Amino acid sequence: MGSYQTGFSYATGALPERWLSRTGWYASKGQGAEVFGDLAAFVDRDTTTNDRTLVVTTSGGDVLYRSPSLGLQQPQAVEPVLDRVRQNGREFVTFFQIGLPAQPGTGGGTGTPVAQLIVVDETGAASVVDDDVSHYRPRSTQDGGRALSFTSTDGSLEAQSGVAAGPDALDFMRVLDAETAQLERIPDLEGQQWLARIDGVDVYRAPRGATDPTTGQPVAIAGTREWSTTFHDHPSGSLTFGPTFMSTRQLDGTCEILDLRTGEPLIFEGAARGCAHPISVRVPSGSASSPNGELLLMHWSDEQGVDAQWVVDLTTGEQKKIDPASGFLPSTVSDAGDVYGGDAAGDRTGYLRFPDQMQPRFADGGRDPPAVINGQGLAMFAYEDLPTYFAVPVP
């Protein structure tokens, strides 16, 4: 189906040496791009008509899939949304777009928006969701950490960026089952509010208003259909999520971090009060977790108050600390344990390999670290003002 194996001059001077090969291709800036499985996905724009379509390629740039065009009017269309989704350990990308058809009588007729929602799995197989999605607005998956959910709208284009219908409206929210490519009603759990679906697990919490009988502090219950826990319901927020876990704040100032599938606690080595957090990434479109969600870049302080950054394998529990004295600030981890980042000044790109080579090596010069890398070495470089570039490493 063709190939996108073309480069551009900026990439040659900006990529770390490992990716200075001829196998590279780029997507137009601002349209969205992802790496998932052994594939790349991006939103392609026709330079003549401004029409947008989803393109999925192999790690070598060969095109596996291009979505059908909706033939939307420009500018009477909303910027398309490309998201990465993890569900039950599998990886997907989703593509949503909505706008007015350029040809009268297309879809719902002149002046009536049409929309499409497409799900592509890690093999490149694509499914178009059969439901009419023109009355729904997507909510971000937060870098693949949550299922793609939707809030209902009045069907107008304005509602895609404005206020959606209220929670009392019929079918106010839907959630996408990526494995079946179907929109589902939010599963009810009596007396609980749905928060998110994370790696296929629905998470709920109790409404606000309860207090601890001893301290008078606000508390609430959160969990899944299989288990629940009580936490300090602080106004500034007490719940955070990782790829497969939930972290709660307790009344005594400690943290309880629980595996979403089992409800069992996760222990992070030497973390003061049990509190550990995913790092804040420093590169555009960067991620604290590997694309498959198994490796996570985290930081926590020990009992002496020394903060360090760690690489954690959520499947085996293995944890390795990055020496704080090295000055290395990680920003990306691959499925295979390649960790890229840089120094605090941003002058050098650094690299280490989890779990065997935890001492970072630095390269002089302002090379750009990749925003994401998969297990096969396919990397994505997301530049602030330039196209998104994909590359495979030099053998």
Distances, alpha carbon 158 to alpha carbons 75, 114, 154, 167, in Å: 13, 14, 9, 18
Q: Who's near 207: CB < 8 A, 6+ residues apart? A: 191, 193, 220
Distances, alpha carbon 172 to alpha carbons 154, 157, 194, 393, in Å: 11, 17, 12, 45
Which tens digit of pLDDT belongs to each residue from 38-76?
Answer: 999 999 988 777 788 999 999 888 999 999 999 888 787
Which tens digit of pLDDT belongs to each residue from 77-112?
Answer: 788 999 999 999 899 999 999 998 887 554 444 578
Per-residue pLDDT of the chain (395 residues; tens, 9 = 90+): 567 767 778 888 788 888 887 678 888 775 789 999 899 999 998 877 778 899 999 988 899 999 999 988 878 778 899 999 999 989 999 999 999 888 755 444 457 889 999 999 999 999 999 988 998 889 888 777 789 998 888 777 877 765 444 444 445 789 999 999 999 998 889 989 999 999 999 999 999 889 999 999 999 999 999 999 999 998 888 899 988 999 999 999 999 999 999 999 999 999 999 999 988 755 555 578 898 889 999 999 999 998 999 999 999 999 999 999 999 999 999 999 999 988 877 788 889 999 999 999 988 767 888 888 888 889 998 877 788 899 988 87
- List helix spans (H) across the chain: 9-14
Sheet of 245-249: strand order equals 239-241, 245-249, 255-259
